[in-house]
Amino acid sequence: MIPNLTRAEENYIKNIYHLQQSAGSVNTNELATMLGAKPASITDMLKKLKVKKLLQYEPYKEFCLSIQGKKIALSIVRKHRLWEYFLVEKLQFGWDEVHEVAEELEHVSSKKLVEKLDAFLNYPHFDPHGDPIPDSNGKMRVQQQVNLVDMPFNKQAEVTSVGNQSTQLLELLKHKNIHIGTRLEVKRKFGFDNSIEVKIRNMQPVTISEPLAKALFVKPL
Amino acid sequence: MIPNLTRAEENYIKNIYHLQQSAGSVNTNELATMLGAKPASITDMLKKLKVKKLLQYEPYKEFCLSIQGKKIALSIVRKHRLWEYFLVEKLQFGWDEVHEVAEELEHVSSKKLVEKLDAFLNYPHFDPHGDPIPDSNGKMRVQQQVNLVDMPFNKQAEVTSVGNQSTQLLELLKHKNIHIGTRLEVKRKFGFDNSIEVKIRNMQPVTISEPLAKALFVKPL
DNA sequence: AATATTTTTTAGATTTGTCTAAAATTTTTT
DNA sequence: AAAAAATTTTAGACAAATCTAAAAAATATT
């Protein structure tokens, strides 16, 4: 039912999916940047994916995954996030070390492996970065999460996810002692640089720059 | 130190290693059969591996892995067998289902992953088929094992490994209730077809054909 | 609305790993 | 030792995935 795809095809589909999710629409240039490839290469692959009916695409137009394409994307995301969970919970990786390894593991094709791994991990709903793990039907739990910049003052909230998995972001969070599950409340906002001061229980207040705050999502308690 | 290799290169190296181990020497045709490729393709790759100094090769001669090539082979075998152990012990796969999945997992490149997996599994010495797992330096335990055809009568022995991992072999063993660790003794040998009758404790005697016996290795107790 | 700029696509080349068909070499048989 | 057979290599082609450079289309600017 799910056709055999090359690694390149899988990576295109996954990245198109992520762009669709965050930006709503996708164009050639953005995808090229994201994949570290030239726009000409993107066009080539888009045509292949169209032939395989995984992508709705007309030259010079924006494009999006077909139903079938989205299904495949979700199955890759599922694998990626399950492996990340495994690496952190079972193999004691740091949450900032797992992304690259999971990029490889997500392409292992055995369906049975994924289902058995899921069971072994006891069907987790969120990965170590707070992102939801699709179940075997592609369904995900939605967290009612809010960007840190949108939190009112003096309301307890719990960090639920981070906006991206760059090592640099995760390194900074580690330094500031913030991780998924950390409880904090916003104390002040500084208009000059849009930085935010947050307070974690039993700790000194911490300053969060605007770019960092935008990469942090929390669940009000 | 270990260069980045393509999946194809890794597969060639691994298969050359296995042929070296079982047959002593390697030639183009055998390797072609083993890899399901044409001899011409083999020659092409042999030349590439020679350039990378992973293979000692002169046209029309037999060839063998260099020191460096053997190191790489052992690191792949290590990964393969650790993953097989993981699949059987942690994910509850049957021992006859793991080979193909491990063929994919063995190419995941993270060194850290392998070491953490090894620790998680508690540094196993043998995989589910009884084959030794190289440690991080490439060292393996040797089992003093004997082919079943060479066992004398009425001597207790324990099955330690199987000669190959074909689904067909493993299916047959399952049917005969034989697995790694099974204790048995040879009761009779029939010259007509070289079949062997073995006795497992509390069970009816079982007949083992010659090809099957040759694929079974045991440790005398 | 015409021009300039940006984005996207096409055309043609390159690398990797494979193939077929033919040539070269080695091994076996007579 | 010559002929036959088997093995191995070379030569040339192909598909996948990428690239560069140039052309085409869409978008933005004046």
pLDDT per position as a tens digit, B75-93: 999 999 999 999 999 999 9
Query: What is the biggest distance separating any 2 CA atoms in chain B, rounded to whole angstroms?
Result: 58
What is the residue whose two structure tokens read 């669709």? A20
What does pTM read for this prediction?
0.83
Interchain CB distance below 8 Å, B117 and A91: yes
pLDDT per position as a tens digit, B8-21: 999 999 999 999 99
Confidence of residue A14 (pLDDT cuts 50, 70, 90): very high
Residues of A contacting chain B (CB within 8 angstroms):
87, 90-93, 97, 100-101, 104-105, 108-110, 112-113, 116-117, 119-120
- Helix, strand or coil, per DSSP, at residue A185: strand
pLDDT per position as a tens digit, A160-203: 989 888 888 888 888 888 999 899 988 888 878 888 889 999 88
Q: How far, in Å, CA of A203 to CA of A173, rounded?
A: 15
Mean pLDDT score across all residues of chain A: 92
Interchain CB distance below 8 Å, B112 and A100: no
Q: What is the pLDDT of residue A150?
A: 81
- From the list A51, A50, A30, A49, the residue with the least C-alpha distance to A39 is A30
Is the model's pLDDT at A2 over the cut of 80? Answer: no
Q: Which helix (H) or strand (E) holds A56?
A: strand A55-56
Confidence of residue A118 (pLDDT cuts 50, 70, 90): very high
pLDDT per position as a tens digit, B130-165: 899 999 999 998 877 889 988 878 888 999 889 888
Q: How far, in Å, CA of B87 to CA of B102, rounded?
A: 8
Output the CA torsion sign for A84, A87, A89, A93: negative
Confidence of residue A10 (pLDDT cuts 50, 70, 90): very high
Output the CA torsion sign for A61, A62, A65, A66: negative
Give the list of residues 6+ apart from residue B210 with CB closer than 8 angstroms, or none. Answer: B149, B193, B194, B195, B196
Q: DSSP string of chain B? A: -PPP--HHHHHHHHHHHHHHHHHSSB-HHHHHHHHT--HHHHHHHHHHHHHTTSEE--TTS-BEE-HHHHHHHHHHHHHHHHHHHHHHHTT---TTTHHHHHHHHTT---HHHHHHHHHHTT--SB-TTSPBPP-TTS--PPP--EEGGGPPBT--EEEEEES---HHHHHHHHHTT--TT-EEEEEEEETTTTEEEEEETTS--EEE-HHHHHTEEEEE-
Is the model's pLDDT at B106 over the cut of 80? Answer: yes
Q: What is the pLDDT of residue A1?
A: 75
For a pLDDT cut of 90, what percent of chain A falls above it? 62
Confidence of residue B129 (pLDDT cuts 50, 70, 90): confident
Q: How far, in Å, CA of B55 to CA of A142, rounded?
A: 53
- Token pair recorded at residue B11: 């597969």
Mean pLDDT score across all residues of chain B: 92
Q: What mean pLDDT comes out for the span A204-212?
A: 88
DSSP state of A95: T
Q: Which nucleotides of strand C lie under 7 Å from a protein CB?
A: 7-12, 16-22, 25-26
Q: How far, in Å, CA of B190 to CA of B50, rounded?
A: 48
Amino acid (one-letter) located at A48: K
Of A40 and A221, more confident: A40
What is the residue whose two structure tokens read 């995760």? A170
Confidence of residue A58 (pLDDT cuts 50, 70, 90): very high
Q: Which helix (H) or strand (E) holds A188?
A: strand A183-190
Is the model's pLDDT at A108 over the cut of 80? Answer: yes
Which parts of the protein come within 7 Å of strand D, by CB position? A 6-9, 36-38, 40-41, 44-45, 48, 60; B 27-30, 39-40, 42-44, 46-47, 57, 59-62
Direct distance between the N- and C-terminal alpha carbons of chain A, in angstroms, rounded to an integer: 42
Is the model's pLDDT at B30 over the cut of 90? Answer: yes
Q: How far, in Å, CA of A198 to CA of A113, rounded?
A: 42
Interchain CB distance below 8 Å, B110 and A104: yes
